[in-house]
Chain A
């Protein structure tokens, strides 16, 4: 006879405490990045090294601004998921591992939102 509650049995997470969510969101962000990559990196390669005014006027264009903001959000989400797996694989001390995972999560959240917000500031500035 099983000691699981029916709800726990249906969720099927077991001792791993997580399901396919991490795996699935990693693939979704990967697909998003693969589609966005050419539209982000070609303008970026062109803009890199140009004077400030030219860079700002390039990213005032809605297409460049939207793609760049989406790319930044997707890239830092994908980065969090990837770095979390690397930490889980190589860092075994529980306190350090949990601490690093929290730091990666908060750090990527900060960088992603700051970058997307900055692109918005450039696009909306008069």
Chain B
């Protein structure tokens, strides 16, 4: 019988075929100990979206979005201190239709992040971990965010 090293076997056959023919013995090490042969937790792509996970992802997305909004607000203040010309430029950008669209998105993003952030603070204090509570506070946060955003936009529009 010819002696074939794993290396030469790999060269002769595609990797996935060789691996399928030579399964690794399961050895439990580290965090694996006691898991048995149970499957690993599924990847995000195949995991069914739930209210909790989607709201959590949105918290992060709106946080990154708010960063851009904060930079715009800083620009607005810096321009106001610089002078009328610099201020009129950023004011023109923000009051254009595109600027209004950005401001509308920013308002909703901000109010969501604020309301869901309060929910996070509630969790940090040790409350609201039961599934029905998580669902209720989530719905309350979304409703409050929507009302707050509409209110803020109306205040801005009316004045």
Interface residue ranges of B121-141 to A (CB < 8 Å):
121, 124
**Closest Cβ–Cβ distance, residue A44 to chain B (whole Å):** 7
Closest to A44 in B: B73
**Nearest-Cβ distance from residue B18 to partner chain A, whole angstroms:** 28
* Cβ A111 vs Cβ B74 within 8 A: yes
Find out whether the CB atom of A52 lies under 8 angstroms from the CB atom of B88: yes
The reply to whether A68 and B77 form a contact with Cβ atoms under 8 Å apart is yes
In the assembled complex, the CB of B91 is this many whole angstroms from the nearest CB of chain A, namely 7
CA gap between A117 and B156 in the complex, in Å: 25
Interface residue from A27, A55, A76, A83 paired with B80 (Cβ < 8 Å): A55
**B side interface size, CB within 8 A:** 34
Q: Of B63, B88, B114, B121, which one neighbours A37 at CB under 8 angstroms?
A: B114
Contact with B along A51-91 (1 / 0, CB 8 A): 01101100100000000100010011001001100100000
Pick the residue among A37, A45, A82, A119 that contacts B77 (CB under 8 A): A119
Are A41 and B152 touching (Cβ within 8 A)?
A: yes
CB pair B87–A114 under 8 Å, yes or no, is no
A52 adjacent to B70 (CB under 8 Å): no
Q: Is B159 in the interface zone, CB < 8 Å from A?
A: yes
Q: Is the CB of B78 within 8 A of A114?
A: yes
Task: Name the contact of A30 in the complex, choosing from B91, B103, B121 (C-beta under 8 A).
Answer: B121
Q: Which residue of chain B is the closest to A53 with respect to CB atoms?
A: B84
**Are A118 and B70 closer than 8 Å at their CB atoms?**
no
A46 touches B (CB below 8 Å): yes
- Determine whether the beta carbon of B114 is less than 8 Å from that of A34: yes
Q: A46-B156, A52-B80 are in contact. Are A34 and B118 (CB under 8 A)?
A: yes
Given known contacts A34-B114, A41-B152, A46-B156, A122 and B81 CB-to-CB distance under 8 angstroms? yes
Contact A48:B121 (CB < 8 A) given known A72-B77, A83-B67, A86-B60: no
Contact of A115 among B67, B74, B94, B114 (CB under 8 A): B74
In this complex, which of A49, A53, A117 has the most chain B Cβ atoms within 10 angstroms of its Cβ? Answer: A49
